[in-house]
Chains A and B, each alone.
Chain A
């Protein structure tokens, strides 16, 4: 089978949905003529024309609101943020409007809207490096999708587009694949695994809320998403040679969260490490730890280990960025702690 990168997989999913459903449109900065800052929407303007692919001004609050209005009235917009950091400019439209409209209308209004873009720390300083999913995982009414492989990305973007709710779809810059400007550096991150690159050409949907056990193991479970999933797999591979069997679970969506798959893994291994690039304090990992404690307390033989970004804006200096963001060594150390307790 052919192998494609994550950017190409997201594009293919969008293109196929747009061919199948004329109500799907794309809005965002430089998404048309330029093909997207990370080339994710490459060639889409040519195929679908300016009524379907809208090059917006730099007006995040505005075009997010336009997306909501269009979603309420029959379209299924996909809104791209050039970096997900900039979704904060549209926070009111997302959190106060999109996420709340269904309830406020007593279920009469639906907002089939995908909000997507790249995130992750890649040496660009505090305003281009953040992991944003925690804010939206925190927001009732939102769904949050965090694909780590091209295969998952295609199946999940298709489900996100078909979903009748606002869905945040997170793409990690380092996972885009070498073809995109953000992905060039992916080659230099040795932990990134060449997994899930066999992507079927025919459209397929992966339901939101279904985790994937990316690696079977017996002794300890690592739960991780996005880039951290790859680092977790690298740790698991390393530990295998030392006789430790690590299971790696990829939730794939944070809201809804597949508690059942996570609980089954914990019931098997009794030891858990949760890894996230989001900050530690009140972050994604914190929520996962709490969920595991709620559901699996009597299966645990050791405290759940949390590995997450330090509670700081991301510093520019590469040495500091590496210190702040969980590295393979940090994850490995946490696994060993989980095993030693």
Chain B
């Protein structure tokens, strides 16, 4: 995996892994995928409010990283945050209700797709200002250190976000102070219309870590276990007090940038080639190849994931619409 343009395919090596972990990861990736596939239809067919950004094709990054975390570790997310939330166990019902702008939504209908948050699950928030979550996760890492909690904080962000100055400011402080932070660049090759090479003078984004004197590595982001392994090592370092790690996960945004954006700036062959490296299908093939699960069992997991999302939609539809002045309760916190 030396260049960002090299397309990654082939079964994930599932040999010697805990089957329960594998099944859980597979299920989580499927839930994230199905959640967004259904959202797409909902946006087409019903009066879905707002907009959304799909992470279809990028699920292995979210699931690989979060699988290496404890439940009380924290994450920050972005405008493209559904998969992070699914991975972090934010209930599908709460997420879907939020999409429908319902009172039972994870943000009470105040945030929407781009601001999903669930403090019970260590999901500190999705920040739709590109790069904004990077220092915030770093602050959570600082807090963990001050409180001696042993928690690790992860920031997910895109290849485009590394060009916000705040990326530099945050990583420098994290390394300077050995904070238990992990930075995950989801390099899906594009920031809206811009390729990595068109926006970063050094397209090897992991190499930036050297400027902050922290380890930086590049992984196959469509291999959930490669991501998991890299994240697990980073978590170990962080918990030991050895400081932050920067991980660049190479992946691909199969869909347009947002909702119905057509992504005409991408060559069709490129999209097709990456589709052939679909992280979920590579994982399924790996499980079968390693003899961990039979096709029939995987199909059951697929069906279960679909059912879970279907149930979430039915639940969301049965929830209460946000009242026009509900927001009055949330402008400033009660002391």
Does B bind A?
yes
A interface list, Cβ under 8 A from B:
29-30, 33-34, 37, 55-62, 85-86, 88-89, 123-128, 181, 310-313, 315-320, 322-324
CB < 8 Å: which of B164, B200, B327 contacts A89? B164
A316 touches B107 (CB 8 A): yes
Chain B residues near A89: list those with CB within 8 A.
129, 164
Q: Interface code B184-217, partner A: CB below 8 Å = 1, 0 otherwise?
A: 0000000111100011100000000000000000
A57 touches B200 (CB 8 A): yes
A123 touches B49 (CB 8 A): yes
Most chain B beta-carbon contacts within 10 A, residue among A57, A60, A85: A57
B129 touches A316 (CB 8 A): no
Q: List 8 A-B contacts (CB under 8 A).
A: A57-B163, A124-B114, A127-B115, A310-B327, A316-B109, A318-B49, A319-B322, A320-B326
Within 8 A of A (CB), among B233-261: 261
User: Given contacts A34-B193, A319-B322, are A313 and B115 in contact (CB under 8 A)?
Assistant: no
B227 within 8 A of A: no
B50 within 8 A of A: yes
Give chain A nearest CB distance to B124 CB in angstroms. 15
CB < 8 Å: which of B110, B113, B128, B194 contacts A55? B194
Closest to B196 in A: A57
A323 touches B325 (CB 8 A): yes
Give chain A nearest CB distance to B1 CB in angstroms. 23
Chain B residues near A56: list those with CB within 8 A.
199
B110 touches A316 (CB 8 A): yes
Give chain B nearest CB distance to A337 CB in angstroms. 20
How many chain B residues sit at the interface, stated as a range, is 35 or more
Chain B residues near A123: list those with CB within 8 A.
49-51
B163 touches A127 (CB 8 A): no
Give chain A nearest CB distance to B191 CB in angstroms. 6
B333 within 8 A of A: no
User: Given contacts A34-B265, A318-B49, are A313 and B194 in contact (CB under 8 A)?
Assistant: no
Give the CA-CA distance A340 to B49 in the complex, in Å.
38
B193 touches A125 (CB 8 A): no
B114 touches A315 (CB 8 A): no
Chain B residues near A124: list those with CB within 8 A.
50-51, 112, 114
Chain B residues near A323: list those with CB within 8 A.
324-325, 327
B324 touches A320 (CB 8 A): yes
B130 touches A320 (CB 8 A): no
CB < 8 Å: which of A62, A127, A316, A322 contacts B165? A62
B322 touches A317 (CB 8 A): yes
Give the CA-CA distance A30 to B328 in the complex, in Å.
37
Chain A residues near B148: list those with CB within 8 A.
none
B101 within 8 A of A: yes
A58 touches B160 (CB 8 A): yes
Chain B residues near A85: list those with CB within 8 A.
129
User: Given contacts A30-B194, A34-B265, A124-B114, are A317 and B331 in contact (CB under 8 A)?
Assistant: no
Most chain A beta-carbon contacts within 10 A, residue among B112, B114, B127: B112
B57 within 8 A of A: no
B115 touches A322 (CB 8 A): no
Closest to B327 in A: A315
B64 within 8 A of A: no
Chain A residues near B328: list those with CB within 8 A.
312
Give chain B nearest CB distance to A63 CB in angstroms. 10
Give the CA-CA distance A125 to B327 in the complex, in Å.
12
CB < 8 Å: which of A58, A127, A317 contacts B191? A58
Give chain B nearest CB distance to A62 CB in angstroms. 7
CB < 8 Å: which of B109, B192, B330 contacts A29? B192
B165 touches A315 (CB 8 A): no
CB < 8 Å: which of A86, A181, A324 contacts B129? A86
Give chain A nearest CB distance to B95 CB in angstroms. 13
Give the CA-CA distance A24 to B204 in the complex, in Å.
34
Chain A residues near B113: list those with CB within 8 A.
125
Give the CA-CA distance A62 to B199 in the complex, in Å.
13
B161 within 8 A of A: yes
Give chain B nearest CB distance to A113 CB in angstroms. 20
Closest to A34 in B: B193
Give the CA-CA distance A316 to B161 in the complex, in Å.
24
